[in-house]
Structure formats: structure tokens, C-alpha cells
């Protein structure tokens, strides 16, 4: 079940949240502790108005809620709310058997026995969950993973407790995969927020249902993803998931925040992942775990696509083709014979090699000259410092921007603010957020032809899709990034 955590302080606003999300959710959790005292008193009427199974929760402050009532007052409030037809009631692990539990059992309301850990994963999580489920209740742990290892631990615990009715929630950014793959973890439900996710670790009901189709995951679902750090704002799930859906391919693609590539490979084995994309800063770090790499990966020294092969992982680089694809017509018609590549970092390597392979004369400009020199020597091209950019005005056919300058949220910066475009150049920025960078704005003002990072992102994604599934990316699908 996808369960919407209601955040309103009146029953009416909670109902509005349900209405706005009704087609994405199977149940809702009424947080009695979020309601005003007057509204709390009316809570018994809520389930019949909601029209779907509702969990009743009155969370104490020490468990992350807002309730500061005494235990006696809290019990009284829960008891009166239980006059309504709630499907579940959440009772914390340490609460002794009392009249709330008795009333719930009498009425056939299922009990969720929960504990919370906001600092980490308790060592005894396994035995606690096991014990909580002993009386036929649903055991719930909301814990806080901080590393890739923690996430792997949570999936392992979930697997060990396969036959126990449970809900395992990974709070914060590190827990997102287990929230999305809740069915893989054998959790009864996953909690979702309304609208756009506003806090780290939250996933909206709409994304869970429409983007990830989290409720459709089964034993045969192929798991794919993207690793990076940071990674949560990536647009790649919006390329791959609609692609899978469009060709009826039973698969899911989700972001994994990673701190340790070696452990991620263990997690990938554990989840039987079939492939994943790699973004900053792991494009080099994955290399040592690959049993097979393509010529491009060898030459560029960076891998952005990993696919499972029998007994090994294979590394590919679709950035290379993704970059070339949008400018192929201009390359083939001979419009691009010389290029200025700004930046000499990881992203620049694929760009420089792609252009050199097409016979383009390349000059690399970089803030740190030694890095430009190293890349230039590897690829037989010229190099210079950023400060000398003006020397190349009017002398090149293509200017490519590969640095992180201008990236969201620093919209108003360009690595070459004083470079004057003549209007004849083709300007290409590989940044895709924002689409129109300061660099491209300057080029547009001069009348240049523009190419956007979005084009490269999409092209490299389509090639990954092919590597992942063996199928072409659906032609008539235009994902919004
Ligand atoms: P990536 O793998 O994304 O390319 P990177 O390897 O850190 O990331 O490279 C970032 C590129 O952006 C480099 O060319 C870097 O220049 P330096 O080699 O001098 O570090 C460039 N860059 C980053 N911040 C910059 C800034 N404020 N001004 C100019 N160039 C910058």
C-alpha cells in the first residue's frame, strides 16, 4: 500500500489532501498530533469521510511527533478517536498493554507496533521487530540509515524477517531506496507525502505511483538505478521509468545516494540489480569493479553505465555518444572543424575525446592549467587558461561548456563571462539545470546556434536504456526532464 501521511491541522484540510492524492494512494495516516485540540476531539468521524483505510497515530514528541500530552490524556484521546472505523492504530513499542490496545483488538482494528530511531539503526532491530510481531501485530521500525552499508543492512534485515508482517522505513536521504522498494523489502506499506517532496527522504505519493510504480514491484521486477553523491535531484528516473512503462517492461529505476562504491556493488548483487547509471563522483571509482569495459571507457577513463553480464559487470560510456548525437548533423556537414572546450574535469574527458575522434581541432581552456595540459596531451590538442579565452574569439566553430559553473542554483555565472561570441559559433552547454545557462544566454544574445545539456542527457539516457533493456527507447516518448 502507498499510505499518505496527512499533514493538515484540521480534518477538512486532511480530507483535501486525500482528494488531491486519491488516485495515487491506498490508505492514509491521520496524525492526530498535527491537529488542533478542537479537531482532535472530532477525529472519530474521519475514517467514514476519508473513504479509504486510515491509520490512527498520535505521535509523542520523543518519537518525532508533536504530542506533549500526558500518557493518560493521550490514551483518552486515542480511545475516543477509536470510536471511528480506523483500519489501523499505531502503538509505540514501549507502551504497556492498555485499554487502547484492548479496544482496538475488540473492534478488529489492526495494531502497528512501532519504534523510531532518528540517529541510526539500533543493533537489536532484528529481535525488536520480531518480538513486536509476536502477537500477530504489524511490526514497524522507522530508523535512520547514514551510509550505503546501513541501507544494505536494512534490506538484509527485511529479508531475514520475510515472514513477519512489518513496515521498515529508512528515514532521510539514505533511506529512499527502501521506501521506494518497499515491496521488495516485504513492507506492508510505504509512507508518502502530498505534492512535491518538501523534506529530505520524502517521496511524493504521485511519484511513487506514477513515476516509480512502486506498488507494482514484484519478484520479477528488474531493478535499475543511478548512483551518485549528490544524486536525489537527478532527472534520469524520468527518462527510464516512462520508457519501461511505455514498452511494458517490468522494471524500476531509482536513485541511490552512495558513499562507498564497493558496498554499493554488494547491494547491487543483493538486490539482483540488472544495471545502473553512474554520476559524479563515481565515474572513475566504479572501474575497478568491472570485468569488462568498452573502448570508450578505456580511453576516457570514466564509466557512466554499468550492466550485468553473466558473472561480471560491464562498463560503458554513453556520455560520449550522448554528447555527439545532438551535433552530428553539424559535424557531418563539416560545420564544426574547430572547438573550444571549457573545463578539464571528468565531464570534459568524454567531450574532448568524442570531438578528437571526429577529427575536430580542440583547444581546452581550464582554470587550472596543469589539468588542461594533461587532458590535452592525452588527446593531442591545444590548451590554455580561462583568462585567455578572449584570444579565441571568432576563431572557433564550436564552444562547449563542461564546468560546473552556472549549475543550479548559481544561475547567473559563466566560466567565461568576458568571452565575446561573434554569433557564428555553435554554443553547447552540458549543464541541464538550468536549461538556459548564463553561458548560453550570452551566446544567444550574439545570435549563436545553441545546444542544451538536456539534449545530451536525453541521448545518453536513451543509449543506456538500450544497454539496460535491449530495446530501443520508444520514439514517440518525450520525457519532461
Ligand atoms: P566533473 O567531473 O563534473 O567535470 P570536476 O572533475 O570537479 O567535475 O571538474 C570540474 C570542472 O569545472 C573543472 O574543469 C574545474 O576547473 P579546475 O580544474 O580549475 O578545478 C571547473 N570549475 C569548477 N569551478 C570553477 C570555477 N569557479 N571557475 C572556473 N572553473 C571551475
For residues 379, 384, 386, 391, the Cα torsion angle rounded to the nearest 10 degrees is -120
| Measured distance CA(364)–CA(346) in Å, rounded | 13
Tell me, using a 6 A CB cutoff, whether residue 35 lines ligand 1.
no
| CA within 13 Å, CB half, 147 | 9
Tell me, using a 6 A CB cutoff, whether residue 368 lines ligand 1.
yes
Task: Give the pLDDT of residue 24.
Answer: 98
The protein residue whose alpha carbon is closest to atom 22 in ligand 1 is: 403
| Measured distance CA(425)–CA(300) in Å, rounded | 26
Tell me, using a 6 A CB cutoff, whether residue 146 lines ligand 1.
no
Q: Give the nearest ligand 1 atom to 281 CA.
A: 2
Task: Give the pLDDT of residue 481.
Answer: 86
Active site residue 283: yes
Residue with cell 568524442: 354
| CA within 13 Å, CB half, 447 | 3
Task: Give the pLDDT of residue 285.
Answer: 97
Tell me, using a 6 A CB cutoff, whether residue 365 lines ligand 1.
no
Task: Give the pLDDT of residue 199.
Answer: 59
Minimal CA–CA distance to 428: which of 329, 278, 323? Answer: 323
Which residues, including other chains, have CB under 8 Å from residue 417's CB and lie 6 or more apart? 438, 442
From the list 283, 314, 438, 462, the catalytic residue is: 283
Q: How many helices (H) and strands (E) does the chain have?
A: 18, 20
Task: Give the pLDDT of residue 123.
Answer: 97
Tell me, using a 6 A CB cutoff, whether residue 404 lines ligand 1.
yes
For the entire predicted model, the pTM comes to 0.94
Task: Give the residue ranges of DSSP H helices in 222-273.
Answer: 236-246, 261-270
Best residue among 345, 365, 456 to mutate for probing ligand 1's pocket (most ligand atoms within 8 Å of CB) is: 345
Minimal CA–CA distance to 1: which of 59, 54, 56? Answer: 54
Which residues, including other chains, have CB under 8 Å from residue 298's CB and lie 6 or more apart? none
Task: Give the pLDDT of residue 409.
Answer: 84
Regions of the chain short of the pLDDT cut 70: 196-200
Phi, psi of 443 (to 5 degrees): -70, -40
Minimal CA–CA distance to 222: which of 277, 273, 265? Answer: 273
Is the four-CA dihedral 316, 318, 324, 329 of positive or negative sign? Answer: positive
Tell me, using a 6 A CB cutoff, whether residue 322 lines ligand 1.
no
The protein residue whose alpha carbon is closest to atom 7 in ligand 1 is: 345
Task: Give the pLDDT of residue 197.
Answer: 61
Distance 365 CA to ligand 1 centre (A): 11
SS3 86: coil
Task: Give the pLDDT of residue 366.
Answer: 98
Tell me, using a 6 A CB cutoff, whether residue 347 lines ligand 1.
yes
Q: Give the nearest ligand 1 atom to 302 CA.
A: 2
Amino acid at each position: 500500500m502507498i499510505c499518505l501521511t496527512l499533514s493538515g491541522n484540521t480534518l477538512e484540510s486532511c480530507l483535501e489532501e486525500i482528494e488531491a492524492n486519491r488516485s495515487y494512494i491506498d490508505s492514509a495516516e491521520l496524525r492526530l498530533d498535527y491537529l488542533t485540540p478542537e479537531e482532535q476531539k472530532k477525529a472519530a468521524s474521519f475514517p467514514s469521510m476519508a473513504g479509504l483505510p486510515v491509520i490512527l497515530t498520535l505521535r509523542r514528541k520523543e518519537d518525532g511527533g508533536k504530542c506533549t500530552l500526558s500518557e493518560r490524556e493521550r490514551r483518552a484521546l486515542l480511545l475516543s478517536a477509536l470510536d471511528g472505523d480506523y483500519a489501523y492504530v499505531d502503538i509505540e513499542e514501549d507502551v504497556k498493554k492498555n485499554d487502547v490496545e484492548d479496544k482496538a483488538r475488540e473492534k478488529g482494528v489492526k495494531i502497528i507496533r512501532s519504534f523510531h530511531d532518528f540517529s541510526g539503526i539500533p543493533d537489536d532491530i532484528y529481535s525488536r521487530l520480531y518480538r513486536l510481531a509476536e502477537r500477530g501485530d504489524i511490526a514497524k521500525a522507522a530508523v535512520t540509515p547514514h551510509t550505503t552499508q546501513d541501507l544494505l543492512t536494512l534490506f538484509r534485515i527485511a529479508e531475514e524477517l520475510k515472514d513477519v508482517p512489518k513496515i521498515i522505513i529508512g528515514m532521510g536521504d539514505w533511506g529512499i531506496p527502501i521506501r521506494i522498494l518497499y515491496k521488495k523489502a516485504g513492507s506492508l506499506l510505504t509512507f508518502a507525502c502530498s505534492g512535491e517532496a518538501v523534506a529530505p527522504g520524502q517521496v511524493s505519493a504521485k511519484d511513487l505511483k506514477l513515476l516509480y510504480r512502486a506498488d507494482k514491484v514484484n519478484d520479477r521486477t528488474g531493478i535499475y538505478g543511478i548512483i551518485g553523491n549528490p544524486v536525489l535531484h537527478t532527472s534520469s528516473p524520468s527518462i527510464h521509468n516512462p520508457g519501461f512503462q511505455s514498452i511494458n517492461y517490468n522494471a524500476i529505476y531509482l536513485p541511490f545516494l552512495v558513499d562507498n562504491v564497493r558496498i554499493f556493488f554488494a547491494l547491487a548483487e543483493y538486490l539482483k540489480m540488472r544495471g545502473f547509471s553512474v554520476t559524479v563522483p563515481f565515474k572513475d571509482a566504479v572501474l575497478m569493479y568491472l570485468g569488462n569495459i568498452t573502448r570508450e571507457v578505456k580511453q576516457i577513463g570514466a564509466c557512466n553505465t554499468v550492466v550485468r553480464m553473466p558473472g561480471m559487470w560491464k562498463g560503458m560510456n554513453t556520455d560520449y555518444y550522448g554528447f555527439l548525437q545532438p551535433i552530428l548533423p553539424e559535424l557531418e556537414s563539416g560545420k564544426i572543424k574547430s572547438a573550444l572546450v571549457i573545463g578539464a574535469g571528468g565531464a570534459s574527458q568524454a567531450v574532448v575525446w568524442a570531438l578528437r575522434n571526429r577529427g575536430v581541432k580542440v583547444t581546452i581552456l581550464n582554470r587550472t592549467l596543469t589539468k588542461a595540459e594533461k587532458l590535452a596531451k592525452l588527446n593531442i590538442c591545444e590548451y590554455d587558461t580561462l583568462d585567455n579565452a578572449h584570444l579565441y574569439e571568432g576563431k572557433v566553430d564550436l564552444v562547449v561548456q563542461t564546468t560546473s559553473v552556472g549549475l543550479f542554483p548559481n544561475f547567473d555565472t559563466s566560466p567565461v563571462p568576458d568571452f565575446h561570441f561573434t554569433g557564428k559559433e555553435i554554443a553547447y552547454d552540458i549543464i541541464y539545470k538550468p536549461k538556459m545557462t548564463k553561458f548560453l544566454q550570452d551566446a544567444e544574445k550574439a545570435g549563436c546556434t545553441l545546444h542544451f545539456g538536456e539534449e545530451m542527457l536525453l541521448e545518453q539516457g536513451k543509449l543506456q536504456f538500450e544497454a539496460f533493456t535491449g530495446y530501443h527507447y520508444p520514439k514517440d516518448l518525450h520525457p519532461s526532464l
